[in-house]
Structure 1
Amino acid sequence: MVFPQPLLDALRAAPATPAFEHAGRTVSRGELLELIGRLAGGMRAAGLGPGRAIAVRTSVTPEAFAAHIAAHALGCRVVGIRPGYPPGQLAHVLGMGADAVLVDPANATPELLAASKTALSLGPGATDLLAQPAGDQELTVTARPGDVAALTFTSGSTGRPKGCAITYAALSAHWAWQPRAWSPVAAAFARGFERYLLFGTLASMVVMEFLAPCLLGGGTAVIPEDDGRPLFPYAIERYGITGSIITVPRLTQMLDLLDKEPADVGSLRALMVSGSPIGPSRLAAAAGRLGPVVYQGYGATEAGNVAMLTPEHIAAGVLDSVGRPHPMVELSVRDEEGAELPAGRTGEIHVRSPYVMEGYWGEEEETRDTLRDGWLRTRDLGHVDEAGFLYLSGRSRDVIMVNAMVVYAGPIERVLAAHPDVAEAYVAGAPDEGTGEAVHAFVVPERGRRPDPDALTALVRAELGADSAPRTITTVPGVPVAPSGKPDKRALLDLPRGAL
């Protein structure tokens, strides 16, 4: 059954039940289905269909989700645009062959509207798809399995976003979108998402992946209003939330807030920690404070969710693993020559599943280096034990996880080194309670120059975005060298940071 047919069938099967709560209103499954049909009709009238591409930049609303599904039903390639791209990165993403651009009034910037001859909108400002006639609830899915369904983006080693091409065949086999194939663990997880806290951006693979069990399992996606307080824990209490995804920094903040000012989070039944590894002590503290509701997920934009640690695993004392792989996922741990290693040996983790990406859009060399004989190189290091649990031990690539986003050190170093006051630049990541990890930069000044850290930070933010901006910039006379002859970034991190 080709994606998104299972979702459309689920909506038709229970039209009176609530699908979304947003801004004081409830959108039923029947209303959502009608909305999908109406938007699909407007997109079809604009010339969209199988193999055509639509770039989407919207806020999180029921209408925005319906637009994504409408485009998929027509067989389009949906190019999800994340918020916060600097102009150069935005231009790069928009240059990936979009036949149309879809925005809502809050995101109708001139750059977006000018990126395509066909500008569509969820409201006034361009061709308003919401003003189209009522849709056909018997909408036929015309997606072709071999076509690319979505480009979801991760940062690239050059500082440009890489578009992970996910086909309709991959989404049709994806664990989250096929309830008939749910394992007992996945089914229990979906039941915990009866009232799911939805936030972030629909351009995120993770957000869409974990929204699926909610809607396919009969739950309601609750889009919170901003009341000036942290979502966690206060939105949980306010809306009676039973499930959500959460990053490690947000989880840390929530536990701290609960210690200072208790809130009622007793409605929680499933809280998926994702985005970056969580330490065993923090995981145990979360389970102790919140109860048997905490899950941990490991995955990648290129592969979706790969492994899951359940509350049962945590209760049994498994605290330093990221869990067991989903039933359709295979793991292979390999050495530097590509030879498979036995259980317990550490190497690079390779993943194979029906829903791994087809490749990086327009990046053939990078695709060949990442996909080999059907296996995806994650560039993460770890091992699998005899019981099938996956353990992470580091990364083979020089990346930093800031607010659960992958930040590459190389592009930051190149931006800093291009400044006339800087002769050399080195970037490393260090644990940070607020953001998971933080970027720390070390610069060797040009002779007679005194680099301004505020100016350098602003330069990185303008070129690469806020997540890449260094937390500290330290001027050093030179860089220590490791026995290998390479710069010793660990030794740099041992220095007092931020001093000039």
Structure 2
Amino acid sequence: MYLTQPLHRALQQFPDRPMTICGDRVRTTREVVDRVARLAASLVGLGVRDGDRVGILARNSDRYHEFFFASWWMGAAAHPVNIRWSPAEIGYALDDSLTEVLLVDDAFAHLAPDLKERCPGLHTLIHCGDGPTPQGMLGYEELVAGFDPVPDIRQGDDEPALLLYTGGTTALPKGVATSHRRLLTSMHGSMLVSRAVEPGSVTLLTAPLFHIAAFCSWHNQNVVGGTQVFLPAFSAEGFLDAVQRHRVTSCILVPAMVQAICEHPQRERYDVSSLRTVTYGGAGSPESLLHRAMKAFPRAGFTQGYGMTETGVLTVLGREEHREGGTRLRSAGRATAGVEIAVVGPAGRPLPAGEVGEVVTRGGHVMLGYWRKPELTHEALKDGWFHTGDAGYLDEDGYLYLVDRLKDMIITGGENVYSAEVENAVASHPAVATCAVIGVPDPQWGERVHAVVVLRPGHTPTADGIRAHTKSLVAGYKAPRSVEFVETLPMSAAGKVLKRLLRDGRTETSDD
């Protein structure tokens, strides 16, 4: 099993079909394969060897697409870097991974001198943007044009293919190393269940490709064949325009994107009838927002995916469950093909249906391990099970319901409160755009439930009104005892609220 196989299949079956669209650039399969083979040759010429890491610090583009395939074509592991990190975090990941060659686009070229200083082993920077090549960098297009194509070595199976660093929201980032076989095992299993992409369809890439969810969406389309449309950065208008212009059939969105699209004042002017599948994930999505999205895209089927960088996709809630509605919409779905999940107690024993514990998983989809961190790998992988750190429960039919990150559980007056349940209740208030619920120190209760709320434009509810609404939906002890109104919530690149910043009293957007 090797990740370049879809290129060879596509070249054989539909060589002249558009494979990538980025702005005004449209390239066929034949053109892309030729460019990949030439870029791979240039990497070899720059001293990259089998098993080395090749990094990229860039926004989504057709060159990102070529970077992935060229890295695998010549036997390297791809290392996509989080573009929302600070220079210190980026430098740490490059240094820790021993990355010697880095592709950088226009948006991040200004960081080059700093990164070179922080990372003594980083000897080559390749400019993959559209502007003039900065001094001290090599030009991407010049490299592609200057080398003859080399054959694909077709390296795969258990060889490392991808190195993704976790968000670093609680400690130093950890590099998650995974192989060709493990990535394909995960993606094939999820595709079998979700049916999110079809041969010849058009996928729109809006979420950043350094994130595992966007990566899986991208490569799933490669596997079945079709066209990839790249947006360098998300905006609601850019998304709607791309769907209309390119007749997009599938996409993946995080809840913050869904909200922005639903609230765009000109949304109904755009023709989105081509959209057949909307996959959402990356953070809990309130039911109220999901219902708005389903009305905004009435011809699209909705699927939800739950997983982690370390595991790929674990569960899928499919189209049928979304059509049926009801309590299933609160679940994360059921295990995908080839994935085993369980919910265990503190002693590691499986719990009965309906009882909350830690979600664990095992199978051929789990990472190789944390890069150069054997102790952390051993801690996460116990008796063959990967421990996710997520709290949840399984129902009688195997549907997984997530209730919180274990570390985010609030204990108030001796009662366990799961923030996700409270957030869902608060978010159903008509004035609430989005919210986060955290525990803050309280002299009487140990912790009190605290809601941080972003309001919809034109609404001015009181804290008491929010509390009263929440109490009508959940037990009184779960309702927030205090409410804070803010302009924005600090978000990670994966669309998750950074609750540690909220606990520290910070609500500004973070670079984590």
TM over 0.5: yes
Paired position in structure 2 for 1:19: 19
Give the letter for the 2:104 counterpart. V
SS in 1 for 2:259: helix
User: Is residue 52–residue 76 contact of structure 1 (8 Å, CA) maintained in 2?
Assistant: yes
Paired position in structure 1 for 2:353: 343
User: Is residue 41–residue 149 contact of structure 2 (8 Å, CA) maintained in 1?
Assistant: no
**What TM-score comes out, normalization by structure 2 length?**
0.75
**What are the residue-to-residue correspondences of 1:132-281 with 2, within 5 Å?**
132=143, 133=145, 139-143=151-155, 145-156=157-168, 158-176=170-188, 184-186=192-194, 188-191=195-198, 194-224=201-231, 230-257=237-264, 261-281=268-288
User: Is residue 232–residue 251 contact of structure 1 (8 Å, CA) maintained in 2?
Assistant: no
SS in 2 for 1:392: strand
User: Is residue 65–residue 202 contact of structure 1 (8 Å, CA) maintained in 2?
Assistant: no
Q: For residues 316 and 212 of structure 1, do their structure 2 counterparts lie closer, same or farther at Cα, with a shift above 3 Å needed? A: same
* Whole-Å separation in 2 of the counterparts to 1:60 and 1:382: 33
Give the letter for the 1:211 counterpart. W
User: Is residue 40–residue 149 contact of structure 2 (8 Å, CA) maintained in 1?
Assistant: no
* Whole-Å separation in 2 of the counterparts to 1:231 and 1:9: 31
CA apart distance, 1:149: 1.8
220-229 or 268-277: which moved more? 220-229
Paired position in structure 2 for 1:107: 108
* Whole-Å separation in 1 of the counterparts to 2:234 and 2:339: 40
**What are the residue-to-residue correspondences of 1:72-471 with 2, within 5 Å?**
72-96=72-96, 97-108=98-109, 109-114=112-117, 115=119, 116-122=122-128, 124-125=133-134, 126-132=137-143, 133=145, 139-143=151-155, 145-156=157-168, 158-176=170-188, 184-186=192-194, 188-191=195-198, 194-224=201-231, 230-257=237-264, 261-291=268-298, 292-317=300-325, 318-398=328-408, 431=423, 437-438=435-436
Deviations 1:120-143 (A, max 9, x none): 333633233422347666722353
* Whole-Å separation in 1 of the counterparts to 2:50 and 2:92: 23
* Whole-Å separation in 1 of the counterparts to 2:232 and 2:367: 34
Residue of 426, 440, 447 corresponding to 1:488: 447
Give the letter for the 2:51 counterpart. G
* Whole-Å separation in 1 of the counterparts to 2:86 and 2:405: 27
User: Is residue 41–residue 150 contact of structure 2 (8 Å, CA) maintained in 1?
Assistant: no
Task: Report how many aligned residue pairs link the two structures.
Answer: 429
User: Is residue 199–residue 225 contact of structure 2 (8 Å, CA) maintained in 1?
Assistant: no
Q: For residues 340 and 439 of structure 1, do their structure 2 counterparts lie closer, same or farther at Cα, with a shift above 3 Å needed? A: closer
Deviations 1:241-297 (A, max 9, x none): 211011112212322337975532211100001111223343344334423511111
User: Is residue 3–residue 172 contact of structure 1 (8 Å, CA) maintained in 2?
Assistant: yes
CA apart distance, 1:189: 1.6
Deviations 1:38-78 (A, max 9, x none): 10000011111212122211222212210121112222122
Paired position in structure 1 for 2:466: none
SS in 2 for 1:189: coil
CA apart distance, 1:174: 3.4
Paired position in structure 1 for 2:38: 38
Q: For residues 229 and 342 of structure 1, do their structure 2 counterparts lie closer, same or farther at Cα, with a shift above 3 Å needed? A: closer
SS in 1 for 2:442: coil
189-198 or 381-390: which moved more? 189-198
Give the letter for the 2:114 counterpart. E
User: Is residue 33–residue 137 contact of structure 1 (8 Å, CA) maintained in 2?
Assistant: no
Give the letter for the 2:283 counterpart. S
Q: For residues 435 and 45 of structure 1, do their structure 2 counterparts lie closer, same or farther at Cα, with a shift above 3 Å needed? A: farther
Deviations 1:370-423 (A, max 9, x none): 1112211111111222322221122212399xxxxxxxxxxxxxxxxxxxxxxx
Q: For residues 230 and 374 of structure 1, do their structure 2 counterparts lie closer, same or farther at Cα, with a shift above 3 Å needed? A: farther
* Whole-Å separation in 2 of the counterparts to 1:281 and 1:250: 15
SS in 2 for 1:287: helix
User: Is residue 192–residue 270 contact of structure 1 (8 Å, CA) maintained in 2?
Assistant: no
* Whole-Å separation in 2 of the counterparts to 1:227 and 1:370: 33
Return 5+ residue gaps in structure 2 as ranges.
411-418, 452-479, 487-504, 506-512
* Whole-Å separation in 2 of the counterparts to 1:51 and 1:260: 46
User: Is residue 197–residue 223 contact of structure 1 (8 Å, CA) maintained in 2?
Assistant: yes
User: Is residue 34–residue 136 contact of structure 1 (8 Å, CA) maintained in 2?
Assistant: no
SS in 1 for 2:407: coil
Q: For residues 162 and 225 of structure 1, do their structure 2 counterparts lie closer, same or farther at Cα, with a shift above 3 Å needed? A: closer
Q: For residues 7 and 345 of structure 1, do their structure 2 counterparts lie closer, same or farther at Cα, with a shift above 3 Å needed? A: farther
User: Is residue 11–residue 29 contact of structure 1 (8 Å, CA) maintained in 2?
Assistant: yes
Give the letter for the 1:279 counterpart. P
SS in 2 for 1:254: helix
Q: For residues 193 and 362 of structure 1, do their structure 2 counterparts lie closer, same or farther at Cα, with a shift above 3 Å needed? A: farther
CA apart distance, 1:157: 6.0
CA apart distance, 1:20: 1.1
* Whole-Å separation in 1 of the counterparts to 2:199 and 2:276: 5
Deviations 1:150-208 (A, max 9, x none): 211222464322211112332243324xxxx776544x321288121112432221111
User: Is residue 79–residue 151 contact of structure 1 (8 Å, CA) maintained in 2?
Assistant: yes
CA RMSD of aligned residues (A): 3.2
**What TM-score comes out, normalization by structure 1 length?**
0.77
Give the letter for the 1:354 counterpart. G
Q: For residues 143 and 88 of structure 1, do their structure 2 counterparts lie closer, same or farther at Cα, with a shift above 3 Å needed? A: same
Q: For residues 83 and 260 of structure 1, do their structure 2 counterparts lie closer, same or farther at Cα, with a shift above 3 Å needed? A: closer
* Whole-Å separation in 1 of the counterparts to 2:123 and 2:385: 38
Give the letter for the 2:368 counterpart. E
255-264 or 328-337: which moved more? 255-264
Give the letter for the 1:293 counterpart. G
